[in-house]
Structure 1
Amino acid sequence: MDFEDFDASPVAGARPEASPLTRLQYLIDNTPALIYCTVPSGDFKMTFVSNNAVNVLGYRPEEMMADPNFWFDHIHPDDKPRIVESLAKVFTEGQQVYEYRFRSADGEYRWMHDTLRLIRDEDGRPLEVIGALTDITDRKRMEEALKATGRKQQQLIGKLREAHEQLLQSEKMASIGQLAAGIAHEINNPVGFVNSNMGSLQGYVGTLLELIDTYADAVATHPQLAARMAPVREAADLDFLRDDVTALVRESIDGLRRVKEIVQSLKDFSHVGETEWQLADLHHGLDSTLNIVANELKYKVNVIKEYGELPRIECLASQLNQVFMNLLVNAGQAIKERGVIRIRTGVKDEWVWVEIADSGGGIAPEHLTRIFEPFFTTKPVGSGTGLGLSLSYGIVTRHGGRIDVRSQLGKGTAFTVWLPQRQPRKEQGAPDVKG
C-alpha cells in the first residue's frame, strides 16, 4: 500500500461503512502523532506528511514536503549533532527513538518524541523511513518543574542540615561556656590561696635570707665560731640555695599568673551567659583566643601581631571568637613544619577588618569557591567535619559582615573578616580589601 494513493485533502469524518482507505486516512489525520515518511538517504526528504501537521506544528503537509531539508533545518541546533551522530543506527538496528526540539510555525521550539522505523523492500534494500512525531512539550515542562522542585527540596534539606549542625555547634559552645565557668570557679579558689601563700612565702624567704646574712655577719666576728660554720655553709651551698630558692618562688608566682590568665581567657572566649549584642574589643578577643589555641600553634608557628587602632564594635563576642579560633586553627594546620601566622587589624570607613594570613600550602583555585560550603573539606577523612568555615561564614553574615579570602598555592592563604562597627549595617556592603 502506498500513501501516495491517498487523497491528501482533510477528512472531516469517516463513517464505519466508509471504504478501508478512507477509514485509514481518517485515522491517520486524527491521531495525536504526526505521521511522516522520508527517503532513506541524503537529508531525509519528506515524502509524506499527515494532515494533522497543521494542528501539531502549524505547517501544511505540502510545504514540509516541498523543502528537501525541512526536517533537518527545523531541529534545534543544540539537538541536531546528537541526532546526526546516531542516525546511522536506523539502518543497522532498524529503529531509533529521539526526543528533541523542533521549530513550529510560530517560531517556538516544541519538544517532540520521534520514533523512526526503517522499511525495506523484498530484497532487503532500504525503501523508506517512517516517523511518528508526538508533542511532549507539556511533559517536558512538568519534568523541569519537578526537577526544579527537587532542587529546591535539596537546597532546603541542605539548609536544614546546616541549621541543625549550627544548632549543635551552638549547644556545644554553650556547654563549653558552662564548663569554662565551672573550671574557672573550681580553679580560682585554690589558685587564689596558693597565690596568696606564694606571696607570703616570698616574703618569708626574703626575711630568712636577711636573717642568715645577719647571722653570718655576727659569726664573722668570732673566728672560732666562723671556722665551725664554714664547713656547714659549704655543705649547704648557701650561695646556690639563695639564688635558686628566689628563682623557684618567682617562677611559681609566674606560673600561677599564667594559670589565672588561661582561666580568664576561657571565660573571655566563651562569654558565659552572653545573649545580647554588646560593645567588645576585638583585640582582647583575639588575644584570649590565641591563648586557647596556643598549644596548637606554639611548636611550629610564629605569630606576628600587627594591630591597628580599633574601636569597640557591637557584636556577640563569643561567636566572633569562635570565628577567630576556626581561622587560626586552619592556618596552623595549613603549615606543615615551620611557618608564620600574621594577624593584622584596621578600620576603613564604618567597617573594621581582621586579617589572619598564614605561610602554608595555600588553597587550590578549584576549591576556593567551595570552602564555605557545609561539609566541604580538603582534609583527610576523620581530620575535619567541613563545618568550621561554613559556621564562621554564617556568624559573620549574621553580624552584617563578610569574609574575603585570597590564596596562592605554595605561598599561603589570607582570610579577612569585615565587620560593621554598629548593628545593623545590612544595607551596605563591606568595601574591598586594600593592602
Structure 2
Amino acid sequence: MGHCDVFEVSQVCPLPAAKEEAPDFCALIKANARYRHIIGNTPAIIYSSVPSGDFRLTFVSENASRVLGYEPCEMLDDPNFWFNHIHPDDTAQIFSSLAMLFVEDQKIYEYRFRTSNGSYLWMHDTLRLIRDPDGTPQEVIGLMTDITGRKEMEDTLQRQAEEQRKLIEQLKMAQAQLMQSEKLASIGQLAAGVAHEINNPIGFVSANLNTLGNYVATLLEGIQLHQCLQGGALPAAMAQEQLRSFEARADLAFLSEDVTELLAESNEGLQRVRNIVQSLKDFSRIGESNWQMTDLHRGLDSTLNIANNELKYKVSIVKQYGELPLVKCLASELNQVFMNLLVNAAQAISERGTVTICTARAGDKVSVSISDTGHGIAPENLNRIFEPFFTTKPVGSGTGLGLSLSYGIVKKHGGDIRVSSAPGCGTTFTIELPIDPASVLAQSSATETSGEAS
C-alpha cells in the first residue's frame, strides 16, 4: 500500500490489445487513481485493520507520511504498529474498552500517537466495525484526525481558568481582609462599602463591553464580505445586493452612533470608580481643590443615564426640576449619593412604579428630593437606616453601607439628608445643600471652637 504500489495511468492505458475493452479499463484505472488522490489528500488519515487480535493494519492512506512522518508501507509491515505507537499513558483506556467495538460497532478515542521524529500528536480516532451480510465482523475502518492544536488550546484555557480561579480566591480574601480592617478605623465602615458602590458602574461597563463585542463581530463580518466581493467572485449586481442586505441588517448608522455613546458612558463609569475610591481618602477633609460650581440637574441626568439598566425595566422617572443656581460641591460624590438613592428606590418597587425627582431653591440652600412608590420603611427602622451595615435587604443583596456613605457625603458638604416613609406608601429622601458650603462649614467650625472655649 502507500507508495509501494503507485503506478501511472498513462503507463497502463496503452497496454490492452482489445480496443473495445481499453476505454473501460482506462476509465477504471483513472477512477482508481482519482479515489487514491482524494483519500491521500484528505486532512484525516483513513485506515483499515483486521477486526481481531492485534488489529493489524491492512490499509493506510498516503497522507500518513505528511501527518505522522511514516510511509504507509512501514505501517503495514509492522503487525503491532498501531498499538506500539500509542502513548503508554493512553493505552489502558483504549484496551479496556476496545472489545465494546464488537457490541456498539463504533468507538471514538482521543489519544497521543508517536510520530517518526519521536514527538506525540493528539489524534481523534473514530473506529467503525464493518460486517458482512451475515453479521460476521469483516474489517475495521478508522479515521484519524490531528487535534493537537485543539488540545493545546484546551490546556491553555484550563490553565487560565485555574489562574483566574486562584486570583478570584485571592481577591475574595483580600476583600474580606480589607473589610475587616476598615471596620476598625473611624471611617472604615464607609470604606468597606466600596465593593457595593463600585458594583453599579462596573455592571454597566461590563454590559457595554458585551455590546461593543457584538458590534465588532458585525464590523468584522462586513469587512470579510467586502474583501470577498472585491475579489470579483460575484457579478456586480449581486455584490451590490449583498452589500445592501448587510448594511440593512447591521444598521451601520445606529451602530456608529451607539459605539461612541457606549465608549463615552464606559469611560465615565470607570472614572466614577476612581472617584469613589478617592472619596474615601477625602471624606473628612474640607476645602479640596476640586470643589467646583456644578449644575446639579446635569449630575442627576448623568446619574439617571448610568443607572438606566437598573431602572428601565420597572421604573418610570418623573422630573420636577425647579430653578437652581450652580452649587459649589464635589460633583462626583453627590452623583454617587443620587445613584445610591435611585437604585434603592428601584429595588423598593416590586413590579412597576414611579420615581419622582424634585429640585427647589430656598434662600441660600437647594434641595433634591427622590420619592418612590415602593413598599416603604417600617417605623422601627427609620432611625437606623443611616447606620453602617444596617440593611433590610435579604442576605447577599446589600452591605448596609450605601446610605451610611451617602450620609457622610452630604454632611461633608454642610448639608442634611432626611427620610420620610410609611409601609405601603413609598419613601422620600430629601437632601438639603448650601449653595456655598464653605460658609456653613466655617460657621460650624467656629461654633465648635466657641463651645470648647467656654
Q: Tell me the TM-score normalized by structure 2.
A: 0.36
Q: Tell me the TM-score normalized by structure 1.
A: 0.37
Larger-gyration structure (1/2)? 1
